[in-house]
Amino acid sequence: MTKILVTGAKGMLGGDLCPMLKDEGFEVFEADLHNMDITDVTMAKAVINAEKPDFIVHAAAYTDVDRAETEKDRAVLINKTGSENMAKITAGLGIPVFCISTDYVFDGTENSPYKPDDPVNPINFYGQTKLDGEIAIKEHNPRHYIFRTSWLYGIHGRNFAETMIRLAGENNELRVVDDQKGCPTWTVELARVIISFIKDRPAYGTYHVCGSGSTSWYGFTRKIMELADISVKITPVSSEEFPRPAKRPAYSVMDNANLCPDWQVSLKEYINRRNMVKLSS
Ligand SMILES: NC(=O)c1ccc[n+]([C@@H]2O[C@H](COP(=O)([O-])OP(=O)(O)OC[C@H]3O[C@@H](n4cnc5c(N)ncnc54)[C@H](OP(=O)(O)O)[C@@H]3O)[C@@H](O)[C@H]2O)c1
């Protein structure tokens, strides 16, 4: 049976990916901080040697974009050194690795969708550490899939859609940034693409795996409220109204070569599914 080791198994992506892999008949080893710290090379090597996976999906990361601006050493240790550890260990054992990366490797100054080979130039520290992780994977393990995703939401983590639904219950008006554009991506769609790559084994390389189409945070919020049937005033504002420690790219739309459906179709499925989960809990 094909065995997949998932790092960051308890995270938002891992929480959807692991059960989906099992449903497809794969054996799964769920690695996370408690049983395989990716920054501890001796521990990581011992676990991977013992488990002997056929593929590794490396989804563990330091994901707090704003805090990375001040917790720089920790962000580097997890996103750069941790990825380098994964790259070297998997390369030594001939294991293909999926590395989950981000649209924040781009500076957002373009006005047409970014392609995988477009020049990178991160404008925040998190983006730089994720790019360094990509570089380490490329340098050390030729059997790699780098999947850049963006604006990720899913049932197993804190995310924009749930934050907005909560805020709509607490406020009469939502003021939402309308001058940053990107591609909302449901974790389940990203997991579906990972599984299809494990089955079909297309060429190794860098892929953009995000929802098709694009919107602003304001447009995303409007669609969330429409699909969740929530009535609240939503006002578009500029990024200047919400200064954040980390800069965000104004335009991080990626060309996904049709790997995922339209973001609005996925969002509808997500809202239906999260409503069912809320009803049954
Ligand atoms: N969320 C987004 O909007 C977004 C957008 C683009 C790309 N991505 C990328 O997509 C991937 C998955 O993101 P996500 O939202 O699922 O992240 P997440 O929910 O923050 O999950 C990351 C997981 O990694 C674990 N982890 C942290 N440090 C570790 C270490 N040293 N060793 C082992 N595990 C460690 C975390 O454990 P603790 O919680 O205990 O720290 C957590 O379970 C990441 O690579 C992220 O950079 C995310």
Pocket test for ligand 1, best of 152, 210, 217 (most atoms within 8 A of CB): 152
- The predicted structure's pLDDT at residue 278: 79
Every domain of the chain and the residues it spans: 3-159+183-213+254-261
Atom of ligand 1 nearest to the CA of 160: 3
Of 117, 91, 96, give the one whose Cα is nearest residue 106. 117
- The predicted structure's pLDDT at residue 50: 97
Helix, strand, or coil (residue 106): coil
Domain 3-159+183-213+254-261: give its CATH code. 3.40.50.720
Pocket test for ligand 1, best of 6, 16, 57, 63 (most atoms within 8 A of CB): 63
Instruction: Kindly give the confidence (pLDDT) of every residue in the chain, 281 residues in length, as a single tens digit, with 9 standing for 90 and above.
Output: 999 999 999 999 999 999 999 999 999 999 999 999 999 999 999 999 999 999 999 999 999 999 999 999 999 999 999 999 999 999 999 999 999 999 999 999 999 999 999 999 999 999 999 999 999 999 999 999 999 999 999 999 999 999 999 999 999 999 999 999 999 999 999 999 999 999 999 999 999 999 999 999 999 999 999 999 999 999 999 999 989 999 999 999 999 999 999 999 999 999 999 988 877 87
Report CA(232)–ligand 1 centroid distance (Å): 31
**Helix 263-280, helix 160-170: angle, nearest 10:** 60
- The predicted structure's pLDDT at residue 281: 77
- The predicted structure's pLDDT at residue 94: 97
Atom of ligand 1 nearest to the CA of 37: 32
Q: With contact defined as beta carbons under 8 Å apart, do 68 and 248 qualify? A: no
- The predicted structure's pLDDT at residue 69: 98
Atom of ligand 1 nearest to the CA of 152: 3
First to last CA, the chain: 34
Atom of ligand 1 nearest to the CA of 15: 16
CB-ligand 1 contact for 79 (6 Å cutoff): no
CB-ligand 1 contact for 133 (6 Å cutoff): no
Of 97, 239, 259, 98, give the one whose Cα is nearest residue 175. 239
* Strand pairing class (144-149; 205-208): parallel
Give the distance, in angstroms, between the CA of residue 273 and the centroid of all CA atoms in the same chain.
20
Q: With contact defined as beta carbons under 8 Å apart, do 68 and 75 qualify? A: yes
The continuous run of DSSP H or E covering 117 comes out as: none
Place of tokens 């100054």: 109
Q: Catalytic pick from 126, 153, 207, 270?
A: 126
CB-ligand 1 contact for 102 (6 Å cutoff): yes
User: b/e per residue, 214-233, with b = 16+ CB within 10 A?
Assistant: bbbbbbbbbbbbebbeeebe
Distance separating alpha carbons of residues 61 and 75, to the nearest angstrom: 8
Active site residue 207: no
- The predicted structure's pLDDT at residue 236: 97
Rg (CA), the chain: 19
